[in-house]
Structures are given as C-alpha cells and as structure tokens.
C-alpha cells in the first residue's frame, strides 16, 4: 500500500522531469541541426519560473478549467502507463481506459480555447481535431493488433510478454511498430505535422490567448504529452524497461530520432497531412493486423 | 396494484388530460405532470418482480400483460424520460396552439410504449405498437410545414414495418395456434430453421425500421429535427429503442441464445454486427457535416443505435450487458442533449450552428449540462457512456473481432468531432450582438436537464447500480453471469474500477489546480480583448464557427451522403412517374372510353374463339 502511494507520487514527478528535459533537449538539437547555437537545456525550467510569476489573462471559467482538465488528463495517463516497472494503476481497465483518458487533453485544450473566442484558436482547434482523426485510424489499428496478438487489453501484460528481448518490434508486430513510428510526429504535433500550433501561420493556434500561468500549464502539459506518447511506444514495441533507467534510455533514442525528423522537415498543410496519414500508416498498420489475424 | 391498472391509468390519464384541457389549461398542465410522475411509483413497485395476468379475451385469444427485469428496465426508462419531457414541455410549449392534443399524444405515446414492453402476447404487442406509431406520426408533424413531410416519411416506413410484423404474426398464428410469447417461444425452438429465419426477418424489418439501423434509417434525421424538442428527446431517447426491445425479445426471449447464434451457421447474427458497424461509421461522419443542431443529434442517434445493436447481437455476455446498458445511457445523455438544444432554441429562436455562439455567458447551467451530455456521448471516463462502450469494445477485442472493434472505436473520434462542434458552435466562441440579451432558461427547463446530468455522472462512477439489473436480464437469457460490483465489473480477463478512475481524475484535477493556483493572480478580460497578431478582431463581422471542419468536410462530403435516402427517393419518384403514365389512360374523353370498351370486348371474343381467327 505504501509502495503504491509512493509510486503514485513519484511517477508524475519523474514524468515531469523527463518531459521538461526533453523540451530543453528538443530546442537544443533543433537549433544545432539549423546551425544555430540554441538556448541552454535548462531554458524550459527558467521559462516556467518566469511564466508563473507573470500576470495572466483569463477569458472566463472554462478558459481556466479547460487547461486544468488537459493537464489533469496527462497526469492520470502517467499513472496508467508503466514506466520501467512503475505502474500505480495497472489494473483499473487497461489500454481501453488509456485510450479514453487520452481524450481529456485535446478536449480540455479545445474547451479552453473555445472560450477564448479568437479566430486563430478556432482554426487551431479545428485542425487539431481533424489531425487527431487522421492519426487515430492507424493508432487504433496498431493497438488492436497488439491486443489481438497478445489476447489481452492490459498494457502491463503486453509489457510482460516482451520480456527478455522478445520485443514486439522484432516480431510479426513489426509492421504495426513502423506505423506507430510514422504517426508519432503527428501525435506529438511536431513537424511535419505542427499544423495545429503553427506559430508563423496562426500564432500558435490554441495557445494564442495564453499568458502567465495558463501558458505555464500549457508548457507542462506539452512536456507530459511528449513523455506519454514516447513512453507508450517504448512500452508497446520496445519491451518497456526492467528499471526506470533503461526505460529512459530507450525513450531518449526514440525522442532524438523524432527530433531529427522535426529538424529537417517543412510543414504539411492540413489536407496534405490527412492524405498522408490516411495512406501510408493505415496501409502498413492494416497489413500488420491482417498478418496477425492470419498467424493467430 | 396490478399491471392492468397500470395500463388503465396510463391510457386513462392521457384522455383525462385532454378533457381537462377543455376546462383549464393550468389544470391540464398540472395533471399531465402529475400523471406522468405518479406512474413512476407503480413501476418502481414492480422492481425485481415477475408477474403475469390476462386482462382481456379476444376471439378466444387471451391478451396478456407481464413484467420481468427486461420489461422493468425499459419501463422505468420510458416513464422517467416522458415525465421529464412533460415537465420540459410546460414552458417550451407555452402559448402554442392545440396543446390539449399535444399532451394527449405525448401521453398516448408513453402509454403505448409501456404497453409494448409489458405485453406478453403478440396481439397486444401489435396493438400497442400501432398506437405508439400513429401518435408519434401526429406529434412529429405537429409543427406543420416541413414537419408534415418528415411525418409522412416516418409513417410510410413505419407502415411497411407494421405490415412485415403483421405477416409474421399471422403466420405464427396459423402455424402455432397461439400468440402467447412463451408458447411461441417453445414453438419456434422446434420449428425448422428456415421458418425461424422467416419469422425473425419479418419482425426484424419492423424493429429495424423503428430502431433506424442502416438501411432503414432514412426517416429519422427529418423526424428528429422537425419534431418539437421535448418530443425529440422522447423520440431519440426511448421511442426508437422500442426496436431494440423487439430485437432482444425476438432474438433472446423467443428464439433463444443458442438458436439465434446458430441460424445459418452463425451468419445471421454476424450480419447484424456488420449492419451495426455500418450504422456506426457512416452516420457519425454525416453528423460531422450537419449545420442544424438537432439534425446533428439525430444522425448521432443513428450512430449510437449502432453501438447498442452491436453489443446485443455479438452474442456474448459482456456484449449483451454493454448493449443494454448503452441503451439506458443513450436514453439519458441524448435526451439531455435534445432538451438542452431545446432550451437554447426556446431562448434564441434558432438552432442553426452557424449563427449561434458564446452562450456560455448567458446560459451557464444549460452549458454545463449540455457539456456533461456531450462527454457522456463521447464516452469520457466517469460518465456512463464510457462503461457501456468499454464493455462492448472489450468483448469485441477478446472475441477476436478487431475490425468490428476498430470501426466502433474510430466512431468515437467522429463523435468527438461533432460533439465538440455542437458545444463550441452554440456555447463557446464569440457571442453575437443579437444574442447579448438572452436570458437563462426557465426553471421547468432546468430541472430535467440537471436531473439527467446527475444520472449521466452517477451511473458513470457507480455503474454497478444499473448493471446489477441488466446482469439478471442477461443471466435469464442463458448468458453466464458477470461479477458485477457497485464500482464496476470484475471479470477474470480484466477489471474496470470506475471509483478508482474517478478518484485518480479528482486527484489529478486537484494537482493541476494547485499548480494553477500557485501562479500570480490572473485578470479577467472580455472576449473582445484578444490577440490577432496586431490586427483588431472585429465583433460580429465574421463568425469563427461557420464551416468549422472545412478542410475535413471538403474531403469527405462527396463520400458521406445518405445514399440510401437517395435510392428511396429515386424509387418513390419512379413509382410516381409510372403512376402518372398510367393515369394518362383516363383522359376524360368519352370517345376513348368507348374505344377501350370495344377493344376489351374484341380481346374477350378473340380469347373465346381460342385465338383461332384464321
């Protein structure tokens, strides 16, 4: 019981540290790829301290509640996702619950933005939801392939099944792994899929009205979502990790690969993004599912 | 109290309301509310009981009423939604004409539905079914104008269904000799599988039309959007679920679990699953394209019916429990949404999603309730919609139907798109100048929506309360019992603990709120004071909600049209053209008629001579 409570406290803190570290690293690597020097890795922490000391503006109660809901959704998700053996809420409903709690964040941001009544927000939210519709096709196919292959809906069981280097990425599930990696940039909202929060085009979309602590919470949420989607990839395809350190190293490798993609690609338009997302990842993940249906 | 008295009160109350309306309108309103609320008490009294009685004998056929857990859960849902709808009507319908008639029909629909779920023989079933269908027709076309068209579409399809059902009933009577459901059931289990299939198909056409599963759904979008809002709630919440009740009755109570799953080597029930996923995915995306709030909800109703049918016909214990629970949940959150939209329509006079906006500042309670309804519709954890969908998905995944599960899950994302559009376009965004003086909704409109939101949340956190009843139903049909607890469901393949999840959500919300709280004080500013990259965002000049999903709708619009409706229209036009051509024979000229007569005789003479002219 004590260990459980300790895990509940520790895992969001770990996720926060990793996420914020990734934010800093992200800016640094992107800058180096662009032949710039870039800010120090600790910059996001300094930003957060600054933002929490600035005066914020609010457009109403839902404007505040939405961003709180989005952050809360991310914190709950961390409790459901195994982090190298730490998983406080492992037996409360499994992957299906994770899938549904993932809705909290986009819904929260969308509700909060809606109250902001800024045209840029409306465009950004609309794009975000459409983009989600785009990647959700392959994401669901990938998750269903995994659940069918291992015949369980529990993420802990899926990780257990991949012990001793029986990684899903090097099994008949390889195609699903590739599809997941292809949609990962869209899930994280990084280039070439940063249509929803495009800074030059629609002034960062949903975040345009945020300032002060709203923006601070938005950054924390972003850090958490970086952690969640990459951790999910590591859990589902790279066999999780026997302790938090190996898990972190696996995450780091995936993250750096993603940053390289972000660094060199320009941005898709939203229609192009949908067309891409509904073509290659869907074909690959569908093939993966059919393969699993045949061999099982 | 027995069942006959219950039926008598429900019908008698309806007519008495009409008569009282001739005396005083206040008295009528009060009595309508009283009669619909008072009927809840006897239904509650029948909780967990099984009773049967003969109330009439007609040409040697005993007409029976009975109550069992399945009827009970439908009856309580019917009575609750109708009473809330009557309460809501008090202010919504105030000042309209023909109100006596309106309340009479509303209570008749209620009585008819109660009769359907309580009847234990097919004659009473058919009579109550027709009472419900015709009163529904009169209510749908209450508003005249386009509503007449919608009502006509509904009643034509409904008659086709009734005829199919009548054929089934007559055939059963000829072959079985009795229409008592228990006797019919024992007859069906011994009949040949071809005959069983014939009976099931003829009844399933009737139920499919009422339940609006593809391809019989085309009456629903028009009917739901044109009917008065309180009745739309009844229509979408429970009336179309009479089809669901019929499906359960014929598939599980009459044919039985084993027979149903084995007709045609299992292809019959799988056909229903495929129809169900088609019913989920296509209407979901058509709903995204709608601009009329009630039409959007109508398409969404069709899609949600798909989940219910999918759960019921997959033929597993979890699926059945999930399907029936989803019926119950859908009744709650869809009625809630229709009533909220009704309140908005009542205050603003429009339900066009392109011209509303920003009403959260004016109608905060309606917004909160509508938001809860939309979250339930999406199936966000800690609302009841989540639990039922979880049950359905789980049985699909563990039963190795990943493609069915995929479409059902993907439908959820479509649901998010249209639910957010509904909430955003009505309540969020810019408040147009013309709505700046909108009042909050009257108290009789607030009570029903608040009650329904409580239902959505409480049954989401403590799903065990309704699941216990549903579990008794499913075990009575021969499904294996589920390990239902008050906090959720504990099966050997996975636990769903909603109290845990809810606690986690609360804790996370508190943490996030604390983080929010430690920041410096915020300043509240008006909506107009927003950042637009140096430009000023003019008020009322343009509306952010118009064409909200433009990039998506431009892509999917050509593919997501109601092709079935087009086909029916084409069929109807074809019939009309042929009839027009036929009518030309009757030109009104006497000379032609004499020619026809002469020709007719000539043909007769030729036939008489045996075609031996030469």
Q: Is residue B534 part of a domain?
A: no
Q: Is residue B266 part of a domain?
A: no
Task: Give the pLDDT confidence score for residue B40 in this predicted structure.
Answer: 87
Q: What is the mean pLDDT of residues B361-377?
A: 88
Give me the domain span that covers residue B462. 279-517+540-548
Residues B192, B309: one domain? no
Whether B333 contacts chain A with CB within 8 A: no
Residue B443 backbone phi and psi in degrees, to 5: -65, -35
Q: Which of B255, B271, B298 is the last residue of a domain?
A: B255
Q: Concatenate the DSSP letters of all residues of B351-402 into one string.
A: -BTTT---GGGT-HHHHHHHHHHHHHHHT-TTSHHHHHHHHHHHHHHHTT-H
Residues B203, B323: one domain? no
Residues B450, B599: one domain? no
pLDDT band, very low/low/confident/very high, at B533 (cuts 50, 70, 90) = low
Residues B2, B90: one domain? yes
Residues B203, B299: one domain? no
Task: Give the pLDDT confidence score for residue A165 in this predicted structure.
Answer: 67
Residues 380-419, chain B, touching A (beta carbon < 8 A): 380-381, 386, 390, 393-394, 397-398, 400, 402-403, 405-406, 409-410, 413-414, 416-417
Closest approach of A40 to chain B, Cα-based (Å): 24
Task: Give the pLDDT confidence score for residue B181 in this predicted structure.
Answer: 83
Whether B556 contacts chain A with CB within 8 A: no
Q: Is residue B112 part of a domain?
A: yes
Contact B410, B281 (CB under 8 A): yes
Residues B462, B377: one domain? yes
Give first-to-last CA distance, chain B, whole Å. Answer: 83
Task: Give the pLDDT confidence score for residue B266 in this predicted structure.
Answer: 74
For residue A207, the 8-state DSSP code is G
Task: Give the pLDDT confidence score for residue B145 in this predicted structure.
Answer: 80
Task: Give the pLDDT confidence score for residue B493 in this predicted structure.
Answer: 63
According to the per-residue pLDDT averaged within each range, which of A112-116, B443-447, B533-537 is highest?
B443-447
Give first-to-last CA distance, chain A, whole Å. Answer: 39
Residues B348, B404: one domain? yes
Task: Give the pLDDT confidence score for residue A86 in this predicted structure.
Answer: 72
Give me the domain span that covers residue A209. 2-295
Whether B368 contacts chain A with CB within 8 A: no
* Structure token pair of residue A55: 């005066």
Q: Is residue B532 part of a domain?
A: no
Task: Give the pLDDT confidence score for residue B221 in this predicted structure.
Answer: 85
* Structure token pair of residue B137: 């027709």
Tell me: pLDDT of B614 over 70. Answer: no
Task: Give the pLDDT confidence score for residue B253 in this predicted structure.
Answer: 83
Of A133, A141, A152, the CB nearest to B413: A133
Number of structural domains (chain B) is: 3
Task: Give the pLDDT confidence score for residue A90 in this predicted structure.
Answer: 64
Q: What is the mean pLDDT of residues B413-429?
A: 86
Q: Is residue B62 part of a domain?
A: yes
For A167-199, b/e burial (b = at least 16 CB within 10 A) is bbbeeebbbbbbbbbbbbbbbbbbbbbbbbbbe
Per residue in B5-48, pLDDT tens? Answer: 888 888 888 888 888 888 888 888 888 888 888 888 888 888 87
Residues B63, B166: one domain? yes
Residues B33, B103: one domain? yes
Does B509 sit within 8 Å of A72, measured CB to CB?
yes
Q: Is residue B412 part of a domain?
A: yes
pLDDT averaged over chain B? 83
| pLDDT tens over chain A, length 296 residues | 777 777 777 888 888 888 888 888 888 888 888 888 888 888 888 888 888 888 777 887 888 888 888 888 888 888 888 887 677 666 666 787 888 888 888 888 888 887 877 778 888 888 888 888 888 888 888 888 888 888 777 787 777 777 766 776 777 788 888 888 888 888 888 888 888 777 777 777 788 878 778 888 888 888 888 888 888 888 888 877 777 888 888 888 888 988 988 888 888 888 888 888 888 888 988 888 888 888 87
* Number of residues written out for chain B: 614
Q: Which residue has the higher pLDDT, B143 or B614?
A: B143
Number of structural domains (chain A) is: 1
Q: Is residue B132 part of a domain?
A: yes
Residues of chain A positioned with their CB less than 8 A from the CB of B396: none
Does B414 sit within 8 Å of A75, measured CB to CB?
no
Q: What's the Cα-to-Cα distance from B360 to each of A115, A122, B365, B435, rounded to whole Å?
A: 8, 16, 8, 11
Per residue in B267-298, pLDDT tens? Answer: 888 888 888 888 888 888 888 888 888 888 88
Residues B332, B472: one domain? yes
Q: What is the mean pLDDT of residues B370-396?
A: 87
Contact B339, B89 (CB under 8 A): no
Residue B70 CA to residue B68 CA, distance in Å, equals 5
- Kind of pairing between the strands at A56-58 and B522-524: parallel
Closest by Cα among B540, B553, B604 to B358: B540
CB pairs under 8 A between A and B: 232
Q: What is the mean pLDDT of residues B451-476?
A: 86
Q: Is residue B260 part of a domain?
A: no
Instruction: Indicate the pTM of the whole model.
Output: 0.89
Residues 148-187, chain B, touching A (beta carbon < 8 A): none
For B428-439, b/e burial (b = at least 16 CB within 10 A) is bbbbbeebeebe
Closest approach of A38 to chain B, Cα-based (Å): 25
Residues B177, B93: one domain? yes
């Amino acid at each position: 019981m004590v260990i459980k409570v300790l895990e509940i406290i520790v895992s969001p803190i770990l996720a926060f540290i990793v996420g914020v570290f990734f934010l800093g690293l992200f800016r640094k690597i992107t800058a180096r790829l662009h032949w710039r020097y870039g800010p120090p890795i600790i910059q996001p922490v300094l930003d957060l301290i600054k933002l929490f000391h600035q005066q914020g503006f609010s457009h109403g109660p839902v404007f505040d509640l939405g961003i709180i809901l989005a952050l809360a959704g991310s914190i709950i998700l961390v409790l459901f996702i195994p982090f190298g053996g730490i998983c406080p809420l492992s037996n409360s409903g499994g992957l299906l619950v994770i899938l549904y709690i993932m809705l909290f964040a986009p819904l929260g941001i969308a509700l909060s933005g809606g109250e902001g009544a800024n045209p840029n927000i409306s465009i950004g939210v609309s794009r975000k939801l459409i983009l989600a519709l785009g990647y959700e096709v392959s994401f669901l196919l990938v998750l269903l392939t995994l659940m069918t292959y291992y015949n369980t809906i529990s993420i802990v069981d899926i990780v257990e099944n991949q012990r001793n280097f029986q990684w899903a990425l090097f099994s008949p599930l390889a195609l699903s792994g590739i599809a997941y990696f292809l949609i990962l940039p869209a899930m994280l909202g990084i280039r070439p899929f940063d249509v929803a929060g495009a800074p030059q085009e629609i002034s960062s979309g949903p975040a345009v009205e945020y300032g002060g602590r709203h923006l601070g919470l938005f950054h924390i949420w972003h850090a958490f979502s970086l952690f969640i989607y990459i951790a999910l990839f590591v859990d589902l395809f790279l066999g999780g990790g026997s302790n938090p350190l190996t898990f972190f190293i696996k995450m780091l490798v995936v993250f750096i690969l993603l940053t390289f993609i972000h660094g060199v690609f320009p941005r898709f338009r939203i229609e192009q993004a949908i067309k891409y997302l509904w073509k290659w990842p869907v074909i690959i993940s569908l093939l993966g599912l059919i393969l699993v249906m045949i061999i099982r | 109290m027995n069942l006959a008295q219950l039926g008598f009160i429900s019908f008698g109350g309806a007519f008495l309301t009409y008569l009282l309306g001739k005396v005083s309108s206040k008295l009528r309103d009060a009595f309508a509310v009283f009669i619909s609320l008072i009927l809840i008490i006897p239904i509650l009294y029948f909780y967990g009981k099984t009773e049967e009685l003969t109330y009439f004998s007609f040409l040697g056929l005993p007409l029976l009423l009975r109550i069992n857990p399945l009827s009970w859960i439908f009856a309580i849902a019917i009575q609750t939604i109708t009473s809330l709808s009557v309460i809501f009507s008090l202010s919504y319908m105030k000042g309209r004409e023909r109100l006596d008639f309106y309340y009479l029909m509303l209570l008749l629909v209620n009585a008819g539905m109660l009769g359907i779920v309580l009847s234990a023989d097919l004659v009473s079933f058919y009579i109550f079914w027709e009472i419900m269908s015709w009163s529904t027709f009169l209510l749908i076309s209450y508003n005249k104008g386009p509503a007449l068209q919608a009502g006509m579409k509904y009643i034509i399809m409904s008659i086709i269904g009734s005829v199919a059902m009548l054929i089934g009933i007559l055939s059963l009577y000829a072959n079985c000799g009795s229409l008592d459901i228990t006797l019919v059931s024992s007859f069906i289990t011994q009949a040949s599988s071809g005959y069983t299939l014939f009976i099931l198909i003829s009844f399933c056409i009737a139920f499919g039309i009422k339940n609006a599963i593809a391809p019989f759904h085309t009456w629903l979008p028009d009917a739901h959007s044109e009917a008065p809002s309180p009745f739309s709630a009844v229509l979408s919440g429970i009336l179309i679920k009479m089809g669901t009740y019929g499906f359960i009755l014929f598939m599980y109570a009459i044919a039985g679990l084993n027979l149903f799953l084995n007709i045609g080597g299992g292809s019959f029930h799988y056909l229903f699953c495929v129809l169900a996923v088609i019913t989920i995915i296509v209407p979901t995306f058509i709903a995204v394209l709608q601009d009329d709030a009630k039409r959007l909800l109508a398409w969404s109703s069709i899609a949600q019916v798909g989940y219910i049918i999918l759960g019921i016909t997959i033929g597993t214990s979890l699926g059945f429990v999930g399907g029936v629970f989803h019926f119950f949940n859908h009744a709650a959150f869809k009625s809630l949404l229709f009533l909220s939209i009704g309140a908005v329509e009542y205050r603003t006079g429009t339900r066009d999603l392109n011209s509303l906006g920003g009403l959260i500042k004016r109608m905060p309670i309606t917004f909160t309730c509508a938001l809860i309804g939309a979250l339930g519709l999406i199936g966000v954890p800690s609302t009841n919609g989540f639990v039922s969908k979880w049950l359905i998905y789980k049985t699909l995944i563990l039963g190795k139907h990943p493609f069915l599960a995929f479409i059902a899950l993907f439908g959820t994302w479509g649901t998010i798109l249209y639910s957010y559009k509904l909430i955003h376009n009505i309540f969020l965004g810019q408040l147009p100048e013309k709505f700046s003086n909108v009042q909050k909704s009257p108290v009789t409109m607030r009570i029903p929506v608040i009650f329904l939101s409580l239902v959505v949340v409480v049954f989401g956190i403590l799903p065990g309360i309704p699941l216990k009843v549903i579990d008794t139903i499913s075990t009575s049909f021969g499904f294996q019992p589920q390990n239902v607890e008050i906090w959720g469901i504990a099966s050997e393949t996975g636990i769903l603990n909603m109290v845990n999840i809810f606690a986690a959500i609360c804790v996370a919300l508190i943490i996030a709120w604390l983080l929010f709280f430690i920041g410096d004080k915020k300043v509240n500013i008006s909506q107009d004071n927003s950042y637009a990259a140096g430009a000023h965002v003019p008020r009322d000049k343009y509306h952010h909600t118009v064409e909200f999903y433009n990039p998506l709708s431009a892509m999917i619009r050509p593919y997501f049209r109601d092709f079935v409706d087009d086909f029916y229209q084409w069929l109807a036009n074809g019939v009309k053209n042929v009839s027009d051509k036929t009518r030309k024979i009757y030109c009104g000229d006497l000379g032609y008629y004499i020619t026809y007569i002469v020709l007719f005789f000539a043909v007769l003479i030729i036939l008489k001579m045996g075609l031996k002219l030469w």
